[in-house]
Homo-oligomer: A and B are copies of this chain.
Amino acid sequence: MDIQNLLEDITGAVQPQIGQGQVAGYIPQLGAVDPHQFGISLVTKDGEVFSAGDAHVEFSIQSISKVFALALVLSSDGDGIWKRVFREPSGNPFNSLVQLESEDGIPRNPFINAGAIVVTDRLLSLTGDAAGAVRALMRRESGNALVDTDHRVATSELESGHRNASLAHFLASCGNLENPVDEVLESYAQQCALAMTCQDLALAARFLASNGLGAEGELVLSPAQTKRINAVMLTCGTYDAAGEFAYRVGLPGKSGVGGGIVAVVPGKCAISVWSPGLGRSGNSVAGVAALDEFTTRTGWSVF
């Protein structure tokens, strides 16, 4: 298969979707992004890189960071985190308080905001610098030492982040935070505000396609834990459209409101797509279309 051609064909095929949907507008830094952009990168499990479109433009990875924070916690802390967060699909929007309340402060899964805040809290306890730990992982795996937090985005998110503050205080009221609310929220905002390109992200996610093996030949995660992260991504990675994403795309994937999506073909490759326009469930319209096209053309769905 000529992967470079494939990515260029996909880029062509999704032109009508680029610019569709709404750019996330809850902070000005995200709202100002030009919606008419689309990038795609693919990294094979052996580290070959292919890119097309705006694959070298940085964007805010937002919730995609949740996968990497979880990987770090699982790798250094084992299964303990699963006492503090479930791994079931949510059925509710990503920042819902309802299930949190009815289930006594145990978030449904690590990819809704409440669950990700718990993961970041744990990573903060383990490392003393949760966002720094995620950043270091991203730099090492992407081979790009310049990967960094966009501090204007982080600051802006903190200032307008009443919904996350509400979630974090609720978790604290249930005894499900180890660190002070303010410190957890700051770590979380910084982790989400990492700015990366499609190519950076696909490289960083390669270990999910290679049984846990990282860029420098090290084991980022055990094969078993890697499979499990992929399972959680498939059932919970795209907010309350996880069923739809599994149905259309058929791959483990994690999206962010910056318009990025990382998807994994276990044993084969990691793919990253980006286009800022979001559909009703908060996933990139052109990004989902591109991944749909990808599995249709390659047959590389897990199903």
CB within 8 Å of B: which residues of A?
Answer: 86-92, 96-102, 108-109, 162-163, 165-170, 172-173, 181, 226-228, 230-232, 234-236, 240-244, 246-247, 250, 252, 266, 301-303
Bound Cα distance A238, B115 (Å): 22
With both chains docked as a complex, state the minimum distance between the C-beta of A41 and any C-beta of chain B, in angstroms.
21
Bound Cα distance A172, B162 (Å): 6
Residue of B nearest to A229 (CB): B303
Does B231 lie within 8 Å of A235, measured CB to CB? no
Does B302 lie within 8 Å of A266, measured CB to CB? yes
- The answer to whether A236 and B243 touch (CB under 8 A), given A98-B101, A108-B91, is yes
- The answer to whether A181 and B162 touch (CB under 8 A), given A91-B90, A97-B97, is yes
Residue of B nearest to A109 (CB): B243
Point out the residues of chain B lying under 8 angstroms from A88, CB to CB: 89, 91, 240-244
Point out the residues of chain B lying under 8 angstroms from A108, CB to CB: 91
Does A101 lie within 8 Å of B91, measured CB to CB? no
With both chains docked as a complex, state the minimum distance between the C-beta of A70 and any C-beta of chain B, in angstroms.
12
- The answer to whether A232 and B252 touch (CB under 8 A), given A91-B88, A91-B108, A169-B162, is no
Point out the residues of chain B lying under 8 angstroms from A302, CB to CB: 266, 302-303
Point out the residues of chain B lying under 8 angstroms from A181, CB to CB: 162, 165
